[in-house]
Structures are given as C-alpha cells and as structure tokens.
Amino acid sequence: MTEPSTSTPPVCSYEGSDYQQSFWEAGQRQYEDAVEAIALQRLLPPKGELLLELGAGAGRNTPRYGGYKRVVLLDYSRTQLLQARERLGDNPRYTYVAADVYRLPFVTSLFDGATMIRTLHHMAEPGLALQSVRRVLAQDAVFILEFANKRNLKAVFRYLSGKQAWNPFSPEQVEFAALNFDFHPKTIRRLLAQNDFKIERQLAVSYFRVGWLKQHLPLGFLVGLDSALQWTGAFAQYSPSVFTRAKAIGTAPAEHPQGFFACPVCGAALAESASSQTCPGCGNLWEYSEGIYDFRIKPVA
C-alpha cells in the first residue's frame, strides 16, 4: 500500500499489516532471520550511545542492539510500532517514532549509529533517503545498510537462460513489485560515496534463500554454511541480500547538536516531551499518543 507524502517520493506503508507474524513467524523465515543476525553481530559496534533503527517494523532486530544505551525505532507505520512496543515492553531505552525516512524529524548530527535493514528496497529514490540519513548522523557514526541485490545468482541464471527480461548486470534499479526495488551493488556504493559515507566492510548474506533447500536441509547446516560464505561479499556480491558497514565522513559540525527532535517540515527545534506539540516555526501539530511520536506529514486532501 502506498501513501503520498508532501514534496517527497511515495512512501510504502505497512499500516495495519501483520507482517511480523505472516512473513517472519508463519512464513518459515528462520534461516533468513538467523543469517541476518550473524551479519549484524559482525558489523555493528559492540557498544554506542544513540542508535537510529530505520524501518524498525515490529522490532524484530531491536533486541540485537543491546550495546547501545538508547535506540530510536523509526517506521512509517504506527501500527508496526505499536506491535514493537507490545513485543519489547515499556523499556526506557526505546523511543518510538512514526516518520518518513525522506524527512527525518531529528536535529543534524544526532546519532552515533544507524541501521537500515530490509528498508531501502522500498525507496524509489535511494539517494535522497541516504542523504536524509547522513544528515542526522554524527561524523564517524557507523551506518549498517542492507539492500536487496539485483545481481543475485538466481536472477543471473534466469537472465542468461532467457527466463527473465531485465538485466541483473545493468546499474539501474528494478521495481519487481509496487515500491519494491532491487539494486545493483555498484549503484549502492556510488550513492553511499555521493552522500559522504565510506564503506568499511561488505557481507554477502542469505545465499541459500531457496524454498527447496530450506525444506530439505537442516536449519543449522544452512545457517553455518551461509555464515562461512558471508566474507565473500568483500570482493563479489551475488547473494540476494548484501550488508554494508559504512562510516559517516565529511565536515564535522561546529558545535555539538542541541536538542533532539526537529520539525520535518521547517526544521525548527521541538521539545522532547511525552505530549503533542505545535511547531513554533510552521504551526504543524505533531501528535504523541500511546508512547509514539507521530511526525508523518499528512497528505493534502
């Protein structure tokens, strides 16, 4: 389902979806979940201050960020964040924010870490999304990005055998379903560099995302084999999923950022309080209810 967002590309919303239950729990995705956990453990620093989890959904990965003192779960879907709160409990380490990745409601250079797992593939304008993420990261912050790889082995074989029209070797992204994109690794590397990120490490993940293999081979065997092959992402990326660890580079801000929230429309500073508030700069009302800050820009009727 898509929803328009003022002056930004269309947004993919999981509002009202049971994605966590239907896709992950009932969808036999134990293999994918396990190998992604291994990749995160290998790439994410063991500790940090403030982490932004972009596309947090129902909080599947959030417990894996235990080394950070505080984690901000951000998702466009409010119902996904409600599921995350129910899943994680009222832990003061967690802050829940409903917002658009293209218009992040935070002051500049706030976070010393960020993750974006299974989220970029919903971005029609990945460069704009990465630009937005870079703005809210401090210099030398670590950014863990996962993206769906169009140059995966299955796509290559299908293309070479004539069963697939689109070219997995070409740089442009492919939209295989509405607001679902696969990206070429070289394109992602270029976009990261253009937005002041320096890649430190890449892992090739989920090589064995094949129904027959998952049904006929032991889970532990597949996970162990995938774990042993993830290092191949350093020189070639032919897996369905690629994990990248990048560092935010560029000029450091003159002063440490003051405040926490910023209006996603005009950029004015906003209070970090458990209540709804009206922006002093543009007059927009930003609501707070059930433990969730809602900074989604309402579509124009």
Q: What is the CATH number of the domain that holds 39?
A: 3.40.50.150
State the Cα–Cα distance between residues 113 and 69, nearest whole angstrom: 11
State the Cα–Cα distance between residues 301 and 289, nearest whole angstrom: 24
- The answer to whether position 299 is within a domain reads no
- The answer to whether position 111 is within a domain reads yes
Q: Tokens at residue 183, please?
A: 């990206």
- The answer to whether position 155 is within a domain reads yes
Number of domains in the chain: 1
Tens digit of each residue's pLDDT, the chain (301 residues):
444 345 678 888 888 888 888 887 766 899 999 999 999 999 999 999 999 999 999 999 999 999 999 999 999 999 999 999 999 988 999 999 999 999 999 999 999 999 999 999 999 999 999 999 999 999 999 999 999 999 999 999 999 999 999 999 999 999 998 999 999 999 999 999 999 999 999 999 999 999 999 999 999 999 999 999 999 999 999 999 999 999 999 876 666 668 899 999 999 999 888 999 999 999 999 999 999 999 999 765 4
Residue 145 burial (10 A CB sphere; 0-12, 13-18, 19+): buried
The pLDDT value given to residue 18: 87
- The answer to whether position 186 is within a domain reads yes
- The answer to whether position 301 is within a domain reads no
Strand order in the sheet with 285-289: 197-205, 241-248, 137-148, 111-116, 48-54, 68-75, 94-98, 292-294, 285-289, 277-278
State the Cα–Cα distance between residues 293 and 85, nearest whole angstrom: 13
pTM of the model: 0.94
State the Cα–Cα distance between residues 264 and 200, nearest whole angstrom: 30
State the Cα–Cα distance between residues 173 and 166, nearest whole angstrom: 10
Angle at 248 between CA 105 and CA 148, to 5 degrees: 80
Task: Give the number of other CB atoms < 10 A from CB of residue 1.
Answer: 12
Residue 280 sits in which domain range? 2-294
- The answer to whether position 300 is within a domain reads no
The pLDDT value given to residue 300: 57
